[in-house]
Amino acid sequence: MSYPTTGKEVYVSLNLSNTMLTGIGKGTITRETVSVDYLKDLFAKYGVIVSCKPEQRPLLQRVNETYDLGLKIPDTLKLFQLSEQHRRLVVVNVQGLQRKNGSLLDKYSDADLAEATFTFVKYYVQSKHYDDLVAENKRLQAELEQDEAWINREDSI
């Protein structure tokens, strides 16, 4: 499976760190669990860039084998920051593997990897701050209520 190069690719990683967020400035981040079919459509539309450490390659290969995502896994770590152009990040959550101090180990056996399960969480960056979105929503709601009141008025003639 080959994904396009659009200039608005979706980043894929096994974790989320503060350094990934430093390029976005003031804004709102939404988070949602997504399906594999949703990811395939998202990647087909925007393209995808994978960021992982070399020792995490077997984990992402297992994801590819299990879900047929066709991710091109880089040989070296590609660092990135979310930005106005690259607004989407998919974090692959891994369950069922032993960890050390909360972090994935550098190496797992094939038997360990066979026990792993994966879920996908999409993070999306909006350029508007949450408080601004709430204020805009209130304003639009008030306008809607005024319009409805005008439409449903009873003229007394």
pLDDT, tens digit, 9 for 90 and up, residues 9-58: 999 998 888 778 776 767 778 899 999 999 999 999 999 999 988 888 99
| Residue 150 backbone dihedrals phi, psi, to 5 degrees | -65, -45
Q: Could you tell me which residues come within 8 angstroms of residue 53 by beta carbon, excluding any fewer than 6 positions away?
A: 77
pLDDT reported for residue 136: 85
Residue among 116, 91, 97 at smallest CA distance from 39 = 91
- Residue 60 contacts residue 73 (beta carbons within 8 Å): yes
pLDDT reported for residue 155: 72
CA end-to-end span of the chain = 69
Kindly report the pTM of this predicted structure.
0.75
Written as six digits, the tokens of 101 are: 């101090």
User: Is it the case that residue 157 has pLDDT exceeding 60?
Assistant: no
Across the beta sheet with 48-51, what order do the strands follow?
Answer: 28-34, 117-126, 88-95, 10-13, 48-51
pLDDT in tens, 53-97: 888 899 999 999 999 999 999 888 888 878 777 789 999 999 988
pLDDT in tens, 98-152: 888 888 888 888 889 888 899 999 998 876 666 777 888 899 999 999 999 888 8
pLDDT reported for residue 130: 67
